[in-house]
Structure 1
Amino acid sequence: MRNALVLICIAAAALSFSSCSKTKKLARQHSELEDTYQTLKRDMSEAEVTLEGEKVKVVLPEAVLFNVNSADMNAEYLPILAKMATILNKYDKTSVLITGYTDVTGTESYNLDLSKKRAESAKSVLVKNQVNSGRIFTWGLGDKNPVADNKTLEGRKQNRRVEYVILYDYKPSKE
């Protein structure tokens, strides 16, 4: 009986230590994300930077990043993205998920392909600015999730965009 009690105490202590270790790791991750958020918010006034749970989202709200039918990034925004790259390089345990979008002027398959190219174009700008490509993941979602009315010229301009989500040490699932 005494041996069983000792084993239970050892197991409880191990679980407590493991839980404590996990809590410290999560706190460290959140702290790094919080620092990343604060730095982006302070240094990138032209961007909308939000901290949403365990991710930082960066959107250039007034940016016309892409012309119609183009995956070439508007050169006007390259210095802003270079600034973002500098910040990302400071926080090298973070990962960046880049999602590309289009307006509705095109077929579904064309828009999906174009949105993927836009995300890859945004990735290439960060890579040219020394962000490790292994930290950057891209997706294209076509004309899904519009941020503005696709019935207007101004709305379609805003929907031709990429969004950046920054996570701590993201590893994609291997499904």
Structure 2
Amino acid sequence: MTPARCTQPPSGKAAMAAAQYRAALPVIQTRRLVLRAPTLDDLPVWTLICKESFGDTEQEAWTEFSYYTSGWLLHGHGLFSVTLKEDDQVVGFVILALEWDDQEPELGYMFRAEHRMKGYATEACTAVRDFGFDLLGSGQFVSYVSQSNTRSNALAERLGALRDKTAEGAFDNDQHVWRYGEARA
């Protein structure tokens, strides 16, 4: 099956323009990782994670990838591709973005199964949390986490977020809302 045209990288002047636009977006480096603007070369990893985690089709994965990537132009924040410093391998993604029903920007993440439980999510989310403090300010973004997702709730707590019971009132009992204030020492 031929891949959809929208998933194919541009060429010529369009490729140069896309590279120029991406170069204007932030790049964050941590001890082991580089967080950078997504490229179409990252789409297969995004699609794989979406299929495994949510049962998404390729088209649904493309739509979400485009949606989060567009956040950079629309809101000044969006999707980061998380790569290993040592070999530029994409291991996951972190967002600081708005979804349709969100009342405020959300810090979220997705990592490939083989790259979980290695501290990459903590390292990458800490960097994006600090980016969010600088860009949006303390208390201006949250993580929405299902009560049953113990690992993500623990990560939000490690990142210094506190449960916002008032914001949780807008959701069913299963939804935790973690608000990010100033980083704890």
Report the TM-score, using the length of structure 1 for normalisation.
0.33
Q: Which has the higher contact order (CA 8 A, sep 6+)?
A: 1
From the CA coordinates, give the structure whose radius of gyration is larger: 1
Higher helix fraction (1 or 2)? 1
